Structure 1
Amino acid sequence: MRVRLYGIDAPESKQAWGQKSKQALSTAVAGKTVKVVNHGPDVYGRELGTIWLDGYDINASMVDSGLAWVYRFQDEAVVPSYIKFDTGAKNASIGLWSDKSPIPPWEWRQINKKTEKPEKKTPRPNW
């Protein structure tokens, strides 16, 4: 099952810390039985969930480890309890916060949307 992590925004794969974030999440949950609290689909139809492993909120852990930002909608944290983890990681210069000026993924996507060339798509056959 593929799940978008609710309440957080991790760096994109081509962005600084993107691969480290993905690897940390994979290492944490791969091959393990987890509980996913489903929050329904996002505006793009992707399932949003909070992953729990042995009583730990993995979404919060990603923020606490400095491997994701707290997701905000209209300047409000979707999960306000994650703010303390974000602040702690930032104050300790952990993970992406060890960079001088980390770029949040929502800003990175906007910058790269304007500069990336559209990918040519191979037409699908009409069978």
Structure 2
Amino acid sequence: MKLTWIKPGVWGAVIGSVLTMIVGFAWGGWVTGGSAQETARLQADSAVTSVLVPFCLAKAKTDPAAAKKVGELRALTYSYEQEQFVMTAGWATMPGSEEPNRGVAEACASQLLKTAEAK
């Protein structure tokens, strides 16, 4: 008894599996475990930053030299310089932390500049 359908059946299963993976990863939204972890980390960092920015803005408001420092901040042209300025001013250093948070500094500088322009 010769089963002639086995070879085409196996090839069909292999080709079907490969096509399913191609379609799934390209258009179906499938991701690897590593890229899922990276996406989760980025979302968590973004959420933490958005929660901490109001603290940075409050520290900037309560700074006795805030008006002068915001003027200096506005004079800086590059976002890296603005971020560094907020970090150096201590506004992006959260309570219980020894070092400033770069993401918070970037978002805080952006908000401070928007607020300064609105005035």
TM-score in terms of structure 1 length: 0.25
Greater helix fraction, Structure 1 or Structure 2: 2
Greater Rg by CA: 2
Greater strand fraction, Structure 1 or Structure 2: 1
